[in-house]
Chain A
């Protein structure tokens, strides 16, 4: 695969995506507002939880808000750069027009990824950054581990991307299944709270089998000194294996495609 060609396609498709949303400016800004509002209300629930109880074991309010902000950034990055891959695959399989992608002189997954930019995700990234910024300011915390935080955060996004590829691969088997998006939501549900709330068996499952639990946990835990920076090595293995598995699944799934639609 030619990386330069990939970025050229990505740049052009992203420009088109922006032009498309700008054609309906009011609708676009209302949508950004709705996404922003939805994310900003998440820490409000946390404040309520901490007002009526002692909160999450081992996490004070600012730390937990930092955790949630991190998850919102991860989801926002996924939404902005990879989420459309799933929708595009489902609708192309449903309409029986996926062969158009297969006929392109470019790997199908890379091509769809290059076409996945969605400006809506930017509102979520902004909300996440504001929430994380608020939490860091509250903790008076600024040091060099923030660079490791960003690196681990990108690994978490790679996990979300892998999950999207797995869900998209399933679209070839279960034609017209828009609820495949809920598979991503399931992972997101497990990621919503620190691994500390789960029992040992669940923690192992969410770290090494389906590494959903680490999406926001490890970046936030490293930043707060709850985990050492070496955890990055611990994360690379399960996430890389998960990514390789998703690529393998995609490659065997596209062979099932038969243009019949659904």
Chain B
């Protein structure tokens, strides 16, 4: 375990060097929230209603602030890392290291996200607290944190799986982009899933993507009972197990395919 704590420490140091990269969120997040707030304030006022699909304006803004928080917390660029290393041939060097590639990259991501907590997440949360009074109950806070951690693991596994397509396609930017578009749409990161027609909601409920954004945020907002919340956490764990098994299977197949010629 100590070798992985070394990986985490190194990735935190790496993040500190490029802190300006993260600090840009301090500009982009407030602006995005401001635009979202302007848009939906105008829509609520123009529609003459206080609640749209179970969300008051304040709840909807809280929802949006939390999509930023969850998005930053669970962000992973493992797909880009795999693609780049496959293209450059650098993957062989990585595979020769006495650490499991996917596991060590998981700890690298933990290091990066730990630093992001301070530079990105806390300021975004502060905006939510100060301007929109976003709040949760102490009962739901531990469930939210657990759900956010599960979302982080699930995002990593899905990203790794998509990244592995590079072993077959070499240039997989298209697949990566399709994944990002679909996840944005199906996870409720753009607007809450309850805004969509019922057939779409039913479809998204059987897919794993709502567990990346929609479910953790609704847990924060206290929209489920404790029993429902525990059930959702259980299903999240189940999806983690499913994607973990798929990842292991695809990784084994990729190792048979790997040819480190570089392109």
A177 contacts B21, C-beta separation under 8 Å: yes
B35 contacts A31, C-beta separation under 8 Å: no
Quick check: is B226 within 8 A (CB to CB) of the other chain? no
Quick check: is B11 within 8 A (CB to CB) of the other chain? no
A174–B45 CA distance with the chains assembled, in angstroms: 42
A185–B24 CA distance with the chains assembled, in angstroms: 11
Tally of contacts, chain A with chain B, CB under 8 A: 110
Residues of chain B within 8 A (CB-CB) of A178 are: 21
Residues of chain B within 8 A (CB-CB) of A204 are: none
**Min distance, Cβ B177 to any Cβ of chain A, angstroms:** 4
Residues of chain A within 8 A (CB-CB) of B81 are: none
B42 contacts A45, C-beta separation under 8 Å: no
Quick check: is A186 within 8 A (CB to CB) of the other chain? yes
Interchain CB contact (< 8 A) of B35 among A30, A45, A189: A189
Q: Which 10 residue pairs spanning A and B have beta carbons closest together?
A: A30-B174, A27-B171, A34-B177, A31-B174, A197-B42, A54-B47, A53-B47, A57-B46, A34-B178, A38-B181
Quick check: is B9 within 8 A (CB to CB) of the other chain? no
Quick check: is A249 within 8 A (CB to CB) of the other chain? no
Query: For residues 135 through 169 of chain B, which have their beta carbon under 8 Å from a beta carbon of chain A?
Result: 169
A186 contacts B27, C-beta separation under 8 Å: yes
Query: For residues 174 through 208 of chain A, which have their beta carbon under 8 Å from a beta carbon of chain B?
Result: 174, 176-180, 182-183, 185-186, 189-190, 192-193, 196-199, 202
**Min distance, Cβ B116 to any Cβ of chain A, angstroms:** 12
Quick check: is B49 within 8 A (CB to CB) of the other chain? yes
Quick check: is A260 within 8 A (CB to CB) of the other chain? no
Query: For residues 202 through 230 of chain B, which have their beta carbon under 8 Å from a beta carbon of chain A?
Result: none
A56 contacts B177, C-beta separation under 8 Å: no
A56 contacts B173, C-beta separation under 8 Å: no
Query: For residues 23 through 68 of chain B, which have their beta carbon under 8 Å from a beta carbon of chain A?
Result: 24, 27-28, 31-32, 35, 38-39, 41-49, 52-53
A186–B197 CA distance with the chains assembled, in angstroms: 30
A54–B239 CA distance with the chains assembled, in angstroms: 38
Quick check: is B185 within 8 A (CB to CB) of the other chain? yes
Residues of chain A within 8 A (CB-CB) of B191 are: 45, 48-49
**Min distance, Cβ B203 to any Cβ of chain A, angstroms:** 14
Interchain CB contact (< 8 A) of A48 among B20, B31, B38, B196: B196
Quick check: is A32 within 8 A (CB to CB) of the other chain? yes
A24 contacts B170, C-beta separation under 8 Å: yes
Interface size on A, residues (CB 8 A): 43
A39–B197 CA distance with the chains assembled, in angstroms: 20
Interchain CB contact (< 8 A) of A51 among B42, B176, B197: B197
A35–B27 CA distance with the chains assembled, in angstroms: 25
Task: List 7 interface pairs A-B (beta carbons < 8 Å), by A numbering.
Answer: A49-B43, A53-B44, A54-B47, A185-B28, A186-B28, A190-B35, A193-B35
**Min distance, Cβ B185 to any Cβ of chain A, angstroms:** 6
Quick check: is A241 within 8 A (CB to CB) of the other chain? no
Quick check: is A33 within 8 A (CB to CB) of the other chain? yes
B174 contacts A34, C-beta separation under 8 Å: yes
Residues of chain A within 8 A (CB-CB) of B45 are: 57
Residues of chain B within 8 A (CB-CB) of A34 are: 173-178, 181
Quick check: is A37 within 8 A (CB to CB) of the other chain? yes
A189 contacts B175, C-beta separation under 8 Å: no
Residues of chain A within 8 A (CB-CB) of B48 are: 54
Residues of chain A within 8 A (CB-CB) of B176 are: 34
